[in-house]
Amino acid sequence: MAVYVICEPCIGTKDTACVEVCPVDCIHPRKDEADFEGATQLYINPDECIDCGACQPACPVEAIFRDEDVPEQWQNYIEINAKHYQ
């Protein structure tokens, strides 16, 4: 199953529109979580993501991609996202 990955455009933006549309609450940190202010970006938990794709069109900075569609310049975000949840 493909997993969605949040890439560089989210850094410093952390718009939570994607969090609001996620049916399984797999995108963190949310605004009400203690580590929100310190986080540089949002992350999608690959173990909880159900591959619904609701987050992708909700992202106003187009930072979310299916792992197989991440642009070449942002391939490292696949690993960054996975490491966040290890």
The full set of domain ranges for the chain reads 4-84
In angstroms, the CA 79 to CA 61 distance is 20
At residue 2 the predicted structure's pLDDT band, cuts being 50, 70 and 90, is low
In angstroms, the CA 14 to CA 79 distance is 19
CATH number of 4-84: 3.30.70.20
pTM here?
0.93
Between 46 and 42, name the one with better pLDDT: 42
Alpha helices in the chain (DSSP H): 17-21, 55-58, 76-84
Q: What is the pLDDT of residues 43-58, one digit of tens each?
A: 999 999 999 999 999 9
